[in-house]
Amino acid sequence: MLAPILTIARYTLLEALRSRMLWVLAVIALAALGLSGFLHAVALTESRQIQAALLAALLRLSAVFLIATFVVTSMAREAHDKGSELLLALPLPRAAYLLGKLGGFCLLALLPALPFGALGLFFAPPAQAALWCTSLLCELWLVAGFALLCMFTLNHVLPALAATLGFYLLARSVAALQLIGQHSGAADAGQRAIAAGMDLLALVLPTLDQFTRSEWLVYHDGSWLQLALVLGQTAIYLLLLAAAALFDLYRKEF
């Protein structure tokens, strides 16, 4: 079973390389460097910190959007060309197909994570840049896993991409929304219900606000314990996402 998984992962990565993704990443990196450099030049105080924070945010958001878009459009194109049906007609388990695609997308996440993490060396010591780079890779793996699940479930590009980006934004902001709900003072029944909903969402969503923190590049305060928590969450949620996608794939009739 390992051989077909590796083959599918390899061709998934080749598809990304042939779609000029490296050129897109280079343009994104140059644009982010140019914009952050402009702010560094015009800022009156803490210009270097502002430059590092803006660069980290731009690179993280660009990488997430790029990975989510590629996963969704790649799966849609394969379904339209009947490539997925051809692969599933071969004498191999459906789990091999899913794990091969997921493995390919996880390898693909290395393409933005490694060079973007290397840019962090301009602002932080190597250990802090390595923390930021590894955490970005974990964040991209979760986005890729959720996008893959959405494509198996929703089957269309726009709903799958909207659901993936909605998941990402909610997981990034749910801690802040939860905090606002807890400190809103006297609240009516509707506000308490919303606060309870935020608490429930915080229980089931990964705490992406603790991933790839810009402070690690700005103030160099990241720790290996924080990275261990990030790795633990990534392993748990990636396993759950793969199991859900596998359940959906096995119940489908082609």
Q: What confidence score (pLDDT) does residue 185 get?
A: 62
Q: Which residue has the higher pLDDT, 191 or 216?
A: 216
Separation CA 120–CA 55 (nearest Å): 9
- Count the residues in the chain: 254
pTM of the model: 0.90
Q: What confidence score (pLDDT) does residue 186 get?
A: 58
Q: Which residue has the higher pLDDT, 229 or 44?
A: 229
In this prediction, residue 184 has a pLDDT band, given cuts at 50, 70 and 90, of low
Give the model confidence (pLDDT) of 163-179 as tens digits: 999 999 999 988 888 77
Q: What confidence score (pLDDT) does residue 27 get?
A: 92
DSSP string, 142-155: HHHHHHHHHHHHH-
Give the model confidence (pLDDT) of 88-125 as tens digits: 777 888 889 899 999 999 999 999 999 999 988 888 89
N-terminal to C-terminal alpha carbon distance within the chain: 21
Q: What confidence score (pLDDT) does residue 88 get?
A: 77
Q: What is the pLDDT averaged over residues 234-242? A: 94
Q: What confidence score (pLDDT) does residue 101 get?
A: 92
Give the model confidence (pLDDT) of 124-137 as tens digits: 899 999 999 999 99
> Helices in the chain by DSSP H: which ranges?
2-18, 21-42, 47-80, 83-89, 94-108, 110-119, 126-154, 157-182, 189-204, 215-218, 224-251
Q: What confidence score (pLDDT) does residue 238 get?
A: 94
Q: Helix 47-80 crosses helix 157-182 at what angle (to 10 degrees)?
A: 140
